[in-house]
Amino acid sequence: METYAVVKGLLFFLVAIVGIPGNLAIVGSLSWITCCVDKLLPVELILWNLSLANTILIFTRGLPAAMFMLFGTIVNSHAGCKTVIYLSRISRGMAFCLTSVLSCVQCVTIIPPSSKWAHIKQSVPKYIFYVTFFLWLLYALMETEGLMFLGPQTNSSNPELIFNYGYCVAIIPTIVFFYVYGFLFFSRDLIVVGLMTIASVYILLVLFQHRKQVNDIRNSNQNSDVEIRAAKTVVSLVTMYILFFGVENTIWLYQIAVSKVIHPVVTDVRHFFSICYTFFFPILIIVSNKKIQNIFKCLQR
């Protein structure tokens, strides 16, 4: 086995063995809170969906890559290959979009009571469930167009238009489709990143530049310390997200705008950065979320 294959397999496997139990722990803890304690706050509902999306992404992108590189495991059936890549694309898009929604909701949550937009704080929680449900449905519909180009490992007369994941492949029908789909994909991600960046900048302004507004929040709301701590966590998540997915999208832009060939190594690096967020996300959430920590303490007792 080549050194590159071993290193790649071990890296993907490391992400899987940390990311899967970490994200499932968050899903389980928040589910327990819903069933036995109280209903979830808007931010917690988003975190539940985000953890679920991360879990699906690792199972359908990180784990298959690790199993292929270390043990040669491939998806032999046409339907199985379609299912794996289809779910990975949905979960990747949901992780991207939900992080943006999380930053926007947290941005609304810390609006000072004196602001003219303060009334929005009462309206947003009512629609979080419907927004998350709509996003799952939307991404499920948007990714159906790629199903016709997926299949198990196979030979092609035009290897330059193949994304070879090892365990299965995606065959691009024409170069025109590759460019159109590629730029639409990149533009969609760019819009989402723009939204989360604007929301995060506002959060930072409230937390670090407008001390008087922060004090007003604390004086009027006994839960303000929790909100401010949650806001800092969201900013940290967005920073990580922009870092990892910024690298992924930079590589994707290089592939569609500069490179004339879909290099397997470049695709491997892009896919690895696309799942790095699922590795660090549960660590940050578990360390910063007191409710989840309390669930773990109860289980230990």
CATH code of the domain containing 27: 1.20.1070.10
Helices (H), the chain: 3-32, 42-57, 63-71, 78-109, 120-142, 175-204, 211-220, 224-257, 264-288, 290-300
Q: Give how many domains the chain has, as a whole number.
A: 1
CA distance 52 to 49: 5
Instruction: Give the least confident one: 106-115, 202-211, 232-241.
Output: 202-211
pLDDT of residue 253: 79
The reported pTM is: 0.85
| Residue 61 DSSP one-character state | I
Tokens of 269: 């690096």
Residue type, 24: L
Q: Give me the phi and psi of 171, to 5 degrees please.
A: -100, 120
CA distance 8 to 101: 32
Q: Is the separation of the CB atoms in 236 and 244 below 8 Å?
A: no
- The string of pLDDT tens digits covering residues 1-59 is 578 788 888 999 999 999 999 999 999 999 988 887 777 888 889 999 999 999 999 99
73 class by beta-carbon count within 10 Å (0-12 exposed, 13-18 middle, 19+ buried): middle
Residue 266 confidence (pLDDT) above 70 = yes
Mean pLDDT for 218-232 is 60
Q: Is the separation of the CB atoms in 99 and 238 below 8 Å?
A: yes
**Local confidence band at 231 (pLDDT 50, 70, 90 cut-offs):** confident
CA distance 158 to 150: 15
CA distance 101 to 11: 29
Full residue range of the structural domain in which residue 289 is found: 3-300
Residue type, 47: L
Q: What angle do CA 89, 92, 96 make, to 5 degrees?
A: 140
Compute the CA torsion angle 109, 209, 215, 104 (nearest 10 deg). Answer: 0
